[in-house]
Copies of this chain bind each other. A is one copy, B any other.
Amino acid sequence: VDPALVELRQRLGEIDDLETAKSILDWDLAVWMPPGGETARASQLATLETVIHTRRTDERIGALLDELEPYAASLDPASDDACLLRVARRNWERARRVPTALAAELASAEADAYATWVRAREASDYAMFKPELSRMLDLKLRWVECFAPYDDPYDVLLDEYDEGLRATDVEAVFDVLRPALTELVDARAVAPGTGEDAFLHAPYPASAQEALGRELCERFGASWDAFRLDPTVHPFAVRFGQNDIRLTTAYEERGLSSLFSAMHECGHGLYEWGSALSLDRTPLAGGGSSSLHESQSRLWENLVGRSRPFWRWFYPRLQEVFPDQLGAVDLDCFYRAINRVERGFVRIDADETSYGLHIVLRFQLERQLVTGRLSVDDLPDAWNAGFRDLMGVDVPDDRHGVLQDVHWSVGLFGYFPTYLLGSVLAVQIWERLRRDLPDVDTQMERGDFSAIHTWLRDHLYALGRTLPPSETIARVAGGPIDPRPYLAYLAAKVA
């Protein structure tokens, strides 16, 4: 083996170790840290980011990559080594554009702004969050400038989560989705809180929800030898190693949203877990892009977890655990309730149909923020006006409006579109899976998800991030992203 490759792998492995250490600090911040830890944590994260960024941008990595170019040129482009060299080159070149001080300041600001967001959301007080949001937006815009020249600043943000994705690509899909989703919502939506789904807003003890969430994760294939499920404010999933996957969920006092969130995060976790072993401790482990990642969370949450076959299996179990809340509710009524189209305020509680409009709103606002057409001062009004425009209802307060999502506090501008693109991809992938597994409904009806998990692992998860996202999508979905199957699926579901 070429000693340059050995050294490069060693350096990338150490960067991966340190990035994971930072992830562990971020996870602890979101899951366990007492409020008093904020200041120290921001400083710890900034110092770690300084170390990581210094290593990422080390000239030696560039020299090794140059030295390995003839070797790279000799390889099958789909081989692990070729993919590693391609991704390492991209990561190195991107990191080199960003000054270490800015990277460290971003890490520290994320910790501060996250903590402030948690409090501001709790208090429904945008004014409390605004200074942190301003600072974060300024930092992200300075970060975007590092990548000049560019056609559109939003492209720079997208490229971080989805290599090669451009704002015009997102628009092309959203231009199809927005009118179609609006039409479906107009035709089918009921006002939140009306009618026959009061049982979905009843109290469900958190401990029972947690036990059921765990049951579902196990059934989907997660092993507690490699997974954890912990409580947080805004659910997420993260990988700390090939066999150390952390899921989080949030337990509300009312309703069963934690179950859908557990299935969603389990989808992310299974994807992270499924990377080929040979990719461990390299930048190739994990999901192929944010859109692909969201395709998997949305697939397990919705294509599986809101399907009729799934509930034919699981609903009796749910009734058994919650006889007071659900004993008198039949399966049809429950199924309709978890799938009915609502003009709700909160994205993560949204049905599949209105969900897309929540994303369209965020995409519009983000583009205006990063191009300077909208100020942080005017954001809540723009949110509320945009929401009224898309959904036809008035946002009651900022907690159910502009403060509901964690993303902007931690600098994730440009991330939201990947949720909707992921939902679209999920249906494309699911249709391919069904072609290969024609009796998947029967399997779900008996609570057997092993063939689904295996198919996804073999066709998608094992690839990790070896290939550019567009190639991974072509392989697993059989072609480029296409919103039509998604719209057909939704139309059939709410018919």
Contact = CB atoms under 8 A, between A and B. Distances in A.
A24 B41 CA distance: 11
B40 A242 contact: yes
B242 A36 contact: yes
A40 B228 contact: no
A13 interface: yes
A216 to B, nearest CB: 18
A25 interface: yes
B20 A241 contact: no
B241 A47 contact: no
B21 A25 contact: yes
A134 to B, nearest CB: 26
A226 B34 contact: yes
Given A24-B28, A48-B21, A37 B281 contact: no
Interface in A178-215: none
A18 B25 CA distance: 11
Interface in A240-265: 240-245
B225 A47 contact: no
Contacts of A48: 17-18, 21
Given A37-B243, A37-B244, A44 B32 contact: no
Nearest to A44: B17
A43 to B, nearest CB: 6
A34 B224 contact: yes
A240 B32 CA distance: 12
A230 to B, nearest CB: 8
A244 B36 contact: yes
Interface in A374-409: none
Contacts of A39: 241-243
A227 interface: yes
Contact of A241 (B41, B240, B281): B41
Contacts of A245: 34
Contact of A36 (B18, B25, B37, B226): B226
Classify the secondary structure of A's interface with B: helix
A163 interface: no
A14 interface: yes
Contact of A14 (B36, B47, B280): B47
A229 to B, nearest CB: 10
Contacts of A244: 33-34, 36-37, 40-41
Nearest to A43: B17
A56 B13 CA distance: 22
Contacts of A33: 228, 240, 244
Given A24-B28, A40-B241, A244-B37, A47 B17 contact: yes
Given A13-B43, A24-B28, A28-B24, A241 B37 contact: yes
A35 interface: yes
A318 interface: no
A329 interface: no
A43 B281 contact: yes
Contacts of A280: 40
A225 to B, nearest CB: 5
Contacts of A40: 20, 240-244, 280-281
A72 interface: no
Nearest to A51: B51
Specify which of A21, A33, A230, A242 lies most central, judged by the most chain B CB atoms within 10 Å of its CB.
Answer: A21
A33 B223 CA distance: 13
A21 to B, nearest CB: 5
Interface in A45-59: 46-48, 50-51
Given A28-B28, A241-B39, A21 B34 contact: no
B37 A18 contact: no
A400 to B, nearest CB: 27
Given A24-B28, A28-B28, A32-B228, A240 B17 contact: no
Contacts of A34: 224-228, 243-245
Nearest to A273: B36
B51 A18 contact: yes
A224 B35 CA distance: 8
Given A13-B43, A17-B43, A36 B225 contact: yes
A14 B43 CA distance: 8
Contact of A243 (B36, B226, B243): B36
15 contacts: A13-B43, A14-B47, A17-B43, A21-B47, A24-B28, A24-B44, A33-B240, A33-B244, A34-B225, A36-B241, A39-B242, A40-B243, A40-B280, A41-B240, A51-B51
